[in-house]
Structure 1
C-alpha cells in the first residue's frame, strides 16, 4: 500500500520514496523509520518501537536513531518529523493518504474555445463560457492533464490544425466545437481528436432547449472522459453534477464574469456580473464562490484593509453551505486565510480545492504560494511547475509567483530572471527584487529598485513599506531578515545621497 504525503509518495513494494524532483535516496533503516511514522501519523512513537522496526533483534547505540532522524529531516521538510522530548518522535506533516494505483502516463487534453456560430459577436461570452465550463468539469478528473483556459484560448478565432495545436500545448488530444444560440434553442457540435493520427475519436451534435445546456455539458464531459479513460485503461466513475442554477439569466451573468475573473487586471470587473447572478439566484454556489474569491483578491490592491479578506470568507462560506464540493469556495477560503496568517487552516482549504479540481492552475499556484510562505520553497516550485504545465502560454503572474518562491529559496539570480520577463513588476515583487540584488552584492541595482518601490508608497518609512509588502511569512525570522536588508539598502541610499550633496 503506497502512501502520499504532501508532494511525496512512499512506495512500499519498491522500498522507494518519490519527491517533487524524483527518487529520494534513503537508507533501508531510514525507510523503515519513515514508514512507521507515516503508518501512525497521530501517535508519538517511542524510541524502543522505532529500534524494533528498523533494527529487529539487534542492539544498537541510541545516537544511531538520531542520525537517521537527522538524515530524514535533511531529505524532507524538517518540520515533518517532530521530536516529543522524553517520549519519542511524531510525524507532523500533511496527512498521509493511501495512494491511488499508478496508471500509465495520463492523457493530456486541450479544449479549444468553441466557435460562436450565432452571427452575433455579443454572444461570444456564451460560447466561451460553455468552453470554460467543460474545461472546469473535465479538470476535476485527476486521471487527465487538462490545459487551462488562458492557454487554450490563445487559439480562439483561428483556423487551427489539431496537430499543430497539440504540439504547441504539449497534449495528446484536442477538442473542437461550436455553439449556435438562437432564442431559447441551442445547437452544440463537438469532436474529440487524437492529434497524433488526426483520428476523430468521438463527435456529436446536440439540438436542445437552452435549459438543457447543463445536461449537454455533462454529456460532453462524460463522453470525453470515457473515451480517454478507455485509451488509458483507467476506470472513471460517473460524476454527473447537479444543475448549478435553474436561472439561465443568472448563468449568463456568471459566464460573462468568468473571463474577467481569470485575469488579475480585470478581476474586479467580474464583481458586477457575479452580484447580478447571485441576486437572480441566491442559491447559485459557483457564483458565490467566485464572488468570494474576487472579493478576497481586493486585498492585493488595499494591503492595509483586511475587511476584504473577512467579507470574502463570508461569501465563500455561503458558497460551501450551498455546495460543499465547490472548488472555488475552498480556494476563496484558503486565499483569505493565507493572508490572515491562519496558515494551517488555509492549507486544509487549499488541499481540498486541489482534491476537487487538480487541474486548475490558479488553485495550484495559490497553494504554491502557501508552501513558500511556510518555508517549503522546493515543494512550492514543484507546485508552480505543475500549474504552468497546465497553462503554458501564461506569463505574467506565473513569473511573479515563481520569482517570489525562488527568492524565498535563496535562488536570487533565477528570481531576477523571472521578474525580467514581466512588463510591469508589482510592488510586492519589487521588494523581493531589492533583496535579490542586495544578496548578490549588486548595490546599485538594489538601490535603484528600492527607489521605484518607495515611489509607490510616498510618505511611508521603510519599515511600513516592509510591513505591507513582505510580512506574509509564517516564520517571523524570515520577515525580520528581509526587513533588515531593506533597511540596510535604504541607509546606503541615504549615505550616498548625502555624500553627493556634500561633494563640490
Structure 2
C-alpha cells in the first residue's frame, strides 16, 4: 500500500504475466478475467471492460468470473448491472467464500444502499477491524453517508490504523495520503463515484 503503480514490482510483474498468459491462451476465460483484473488495477478501464466481458461471454456459469465481473461493473459505473450478477454468482456457488460479500457491499454502496453495505462490512470487520483496510474504508464511508457520526468516526480511526499497518509508501504520510490511496485503489472510473466515496469519508471526519 502506498507505492505508486509504476514503482510497484508486484503490480508490474502481475500485468506482464497476465499478458503472457493471454498470448498463450486467449480462449481461457479465467485468463481473460485475470487480464481484466490487472487492467482494472492499472485503471486501464476500456481494456478492463473488454476483457471482463470476454471472460463472462466465454463462461457465464463460472461463479468466480461472475462475481468479479459484477464488482467490475460497479467500478466501471454500472452498479445496477453488477448487483444481479453478484446475486447470480452466489446462487451458482452457495458455499461461496466471504470475499464475494466484500464485492457485493461495494456494489450496494455505489447504488446508494448504504445500510445494507454497512451491515455486510460490519460482519466482516468487527472482530479484527485493523486487518481490513479496504473494507474498513468502505464501511467508514457508508456510515458517514448514513449520518452515524459516532460509529463513522470510530471506523475512520480503525481505517487509519489499518492502512498504517500495511503502508509501504512515504513514511511521513498520514490520513490524507491514506484516503487518496484508498480512493485511487478503489478503481472507480466515474468522478461522481469517487466523490461519493470521499463525501462519506469526509462525513466521518477524514481529510477527504
Map Cα deviations across residues 145-171 of structure 1 (whole Å, 9 max, x no partner): xxxxxxxxxxxxxxxxxxxxxxxxxxx
| Structure 1 pair 424–395 and aligned structure 2 pair: CA distance change class (3 A) | farther
Q: Give 1:99-110 correspondences, 5 Å limit.
A: none
Map Cα deviations across residues 334-378 of structure 1 (whole Å, 9 max, x no partner): 001011111111011111111222222221122111110122111
1:320 to 14, 22, 25: 22
- Partner residue in 1 for 2:3: 304
- Residue 320 of structure 1 and its aligned partner are, at CA, apart by 2.3
Matched, 1:429 2:135: yes
Once residues 83 and 3 of structure 2 are traced to their aligned partners in structure 1, the CA distance between those partners, rounded to angstroms, is 28
- Residue 491 of structure 1 and its aligned partner are, at CA, apart by 6.0
Contact 1:319–1:326 (8 Å) recurs in 2? no
Q: Give 1:402-421 correspondences, 5 Å limit.
A: 402-421=104-123
- SS of residue paired to 2:96: coil
* TM-score for the superposition, normalised by structure 1: 0.36
- Residue 468 of structure 1 and its aligned partner are, at CA, apart by 2.1
| Structure 1 pair 421–395 and aligned structure 2 pair: CA distance change class (3 A) | farther
- Residue 305 of structure 1 and its aligned partner are, at CA, apart by 4.7
Contact 1:316–1:329 (8 Å) recurs in 2? yes
- Residue 481 of structure 1 and its aligned partner are, at CA, apart by 3.9
- Partner residue in 1 for 2:169: none
- Residue 432 of structure 1 and its aligned partner are, at CA, apart by 1.2
- Partner residue in 1 for 2:168: none
Larger radius of gyration: 1
- Residue 488 of structure 1 and its aligned partner are, at CA, apart by 4.1
- SS of residue paired to 1:392: coil
| Structure 1 pair 352–460 and aligned structure 2 pair: CA distance change class (3 A) | same
Of the two structures, which has the highest relative contact order with CA contacts closer than 8 Å and spacing of 6 or more? 2
Contact 1:428–1:470 (8 Å) recurs in 2? no
Q: Give 1:344-423 correspondences, 5 Å limit.
A: 344-422=46-124
Once residues 491 and 338 of structure 1 are traced to their aligned partners in structure 2, the CA distance between those partners, rounded to angstroms, is 26
Once residues 189 and 181 of structure 2 are traced to their aligned partners in structure 1, the CA distance between those partners, rounded to angstroms, is 15
Runs of at least 5 residues in structure 2 that lack an aligned partner in the other structure: 165-171
Once residues 375 and 441 of structure 1 are traced to their aligned partners in structure 2, the CA distance between those partners, rounded to angstroms, is 25
Runs of at least 5 residues in structure 1 that lack an aligned partner in the other structure: 1-301, 493-504
Contact 1:416–1:436 (8 Å) recurs in 2? yes
1:445 to 151, 156, 180: 151
| Structure 1 pair 322–381 and aligned structure 2 pair: CA distance change class (3 A) | same
- SS of residue paired to 1:421: helix
Once residues 36 and 104 of structure 2 are traced to their aligned partners in structure 1, the CA distance between those partners, rounded to angstroms, is 19
Q: Give 1:147-296 correspondences, 5 Å limit.
A: none
Q: Give 1:128-147 correspondences, 5 Å limit.
A: none
Count how many residue pairs are aligned between Structure 1 and Structure 2.
Answer: 191
- SS of residue paired to 2:163: coil
Greater share of strand residues, 1 or 2?
1
Greater share of helix residues, 1 or 2?
2
Once residues 424 and 338 of structure 1 are traced to their aligned partners in structure 2, the CA distance between those partners, rounded to angstroms, is 28
